[in-house]
Homo-oligomer: A and B are copies of this chain.
């Protein structure tokens, strides 16, 4: 399942800046950053539940917002990009 994660964290306080770092760090464990606060993740249902739980614990429920957009398995046909291409296919094999 392809899930797009987008977030806005209120960084007007030092606590907010810390939350922002933690949200990004957590998302990096589950997918790929394509823009500042946008991550593309390919997840199982269990991983998705886990990710939401972890992010829920990090953010301030009143100040921050996170949205999850689920695009299903044929997600590549539903994504278009213009400008600088920041995508590396999250399902491609990475040869290290």
Contacts and interface: CB of A to CB of B under 8 A. Distances in A.
Interface of A: 4, 6-8, 34-38, 52, 55-56, 59-72, 78-87
A74 to B, nearest CB: 11
Given A61-B83, A65-B83, A36 B56 contact: no
A68 B62 CA distance: 28
A87 B4 CA distance: 16
Contact of A82 (B59, B79, B80): B59
A60 B84 CA distance: 8
Nearest to A67: B81
A69 B67 contact: no
A19 to B, nearest CB: 10
